[in-house]
Amino acid sequence: MSTGIGPGPAGTATGPAPRPAPVLSVRDLSVRFLMPAGRRVAAVTGARFDVLPGECLALIGESGCGKSVLASALLGLLPGNAQTAGSAFLGGLDLLTAGERTLARTVRGRLIGLVPQSPAAHLTPVRTVRSQLEETVAALTATRGRAALRTAAEAAAERAAFPATHLDRYPHELSGGLAQRAATALALVGDAPLLLADEPTTGLDRDLVDRTVDELRRHVDDPGGTEGAGRALLMITHDLAAAERIADRVAVMYAGRIVELADATAFFGTPGPRHPYSRGLLEALPDRAFRPVPGMPPELGDLPDGCAFAPRCARATDLCTGQAPPSGEVACHHPHVPEDVRA
Ligand code: SF4
């Protein structure tokens, strides 16, 4: 199983094949919001993961756990009262220290294609999909000339399975699924090596969720366009079924920290999650135990000492409340082991 953490051994003649260089490498990423009266909100703490070429990493957790803040940090879209630490390298560029000019000209659209949470809000309401695609093609590629832009916009729509018959429609004339495809088409125009999908299935019914995530996965497996293989997908979602459907690996976030990083097959199947919170998330699913995680997440501005999950955790001990869990693939003093699962 790939750890996805750390630079990884290069492999030897007798050892495993070398791991490809990550598309995105995040190390010790923290985000603090400075609030009035000196209050500090620890929105993200010490996030550490890689996303490899051809891979989908699903970042999952409840609302307010910090996952969308992490996405905003990667895109340089945090508000002015945010402070960041750590690094997030993409194509040799540290996204956390890049200036706004670089982020606008080089990162958004070109290095990161954003599939937004609310496609209808992301699209300009007073312009047709065709017009928005042509403008994005002109901004992100070398294509010039009316006819060439039209052809390129139609090709971009086709890549996202957006029907050519709907290109001259306005966003309010589209169904939720077609608006999602239009937003995906825009995200794909720049042939970005990283697709960042931030809650891409919000508000969609199950059938559309499946189709949307399958579509995203297709752009990783068979990216088309000019970039060739090697695109990566970071999907931020609270929808575990969507994550199970397409993810290669899963990162679980709780109270601003990544508490488990696991291979998706092992996580959703056998032996299952090792962190008690991760197990609670799965057991809350209707097609599993349908038993919600008791209690509520803590305020990010008032995190307890030790493990932030301790007040909700049946395995908590004095060690958990007194000492922060170890960092690593499972941030827990008493993680589940495979024997627990077989019991
Ligand atoms: S460190 Fe302790 S309280 Fe936290 S998840 Fe693990 S067992 Fe539960």
Q: Where exactly are the structural domains of the chain?
A: 24-104+232-342
Token pair listed for 249? 């690996």
Q: Is 320 in the pocket of ligand 1 (CB under 6 A)?
A: yes
pLDDT score recorded for residue 11: 42
26 C-alpha to ligand 1 centroid (Å):
24
Q: Would you say 232 and 195 are in contact if contact means Cβ atoms under 8 Å apart?
A: yes
335 C-alpha to ligand 1 centroid (Å):
7
Q: How far apart are CA 61 and CA 68, in angstroms?
A: 10
pLDDT (tens digit, 0 to 9) for every residue of the chain, 343 residues total? Answer: 344 444 334 444 556 677 789 999 999 999 999 999 999 999 999 999 999 999 999 999 998 899 999 999 999 999 999 999 999 999 899 999 999 999 999 999 999 999 988 887 789 999 999 999 999 999 999 999 999 999 999 999 998 889 999 999 999 999 988 998 999 999 999 999 999 999 988 877 888 889 889 989 998 987 665 444 579 999 999 999 999 999 999 999 999 999 999 999 999 999 999 999 999 999 999 999 999 999 999 999 999 989 999 999 999 999 999 999 998 899 999 999 976 655 4
Q: Ligand 1 pocket test: which of 278, 307, 321 has the largest number of ligand atoms within 8 Å of its C-beta?
A: 307
- Our CA angle for 110, 111, 115, nearest 5°, is 80
Is the four-CA dihedral 172, 177, 179, 182 of positive or negative sign? negative
Q: Which atom of ligand 1 is nearest to the CA of 307?
A: 4
Which residue, chain included where needed, has tokens 């690996």?
Answer: 249
pLDDT score recorded for residue 149: 96
Q: Ligand 1 pocket test: which of 334, 336, 337 has the largest number of ligand atoms within 8 Å of its C-beta?
A: 334
Q: Is 333 in the pocket of ligand 1 (CB under 6 A)?
A: yes
16: left (phi > 0), else alpha (psi -120 to 50), else beta? Answer: beta
Q: Would you say 176 and 203 are in contact if contact means Cβ atoms under 8 Å apart?
A: yes
316 C-alpha to ligand 1 centroid (Å):
5
- Our CA angle for 58, 202, 245, nearest 5°, is 40
Segment (H or E) for 178: helix 176-188
Q: Is 325 in the pocket of ligand 1 (CB under 6 A)?
A: yes
Q: Is 110 in the pocket of ligand 1 (CB under 6 A)?
A: no
pTM check: above 0.85:
yes
Is the four-CA dihedral 282, 285, 290, 292 of positive or negative sign? positive
Q: What residue's CA is closest to ligand 1, atom 1?
A: 332
Token pair listed for 43? 């929105």
pLDDT score recorded for residue 15: 65
Closest alpha carbon to 56 in 188, 206, 189, 216: 216
Q: Is 268 in the pocket of ligand 1 (CB under 6 A)?
A: no
The CATH architecture one would assign to domain 24-104+232-342 is 3-Layer(aba) Sandwich (3.40)
309 C-alpha to ligand 1 centroid (Å):
6
pLDDT score recorded for residue 31: 98
Q: Would you say 146 and 173 are in contact if contact means Cβ atoms under 8 Å apart?
A: no
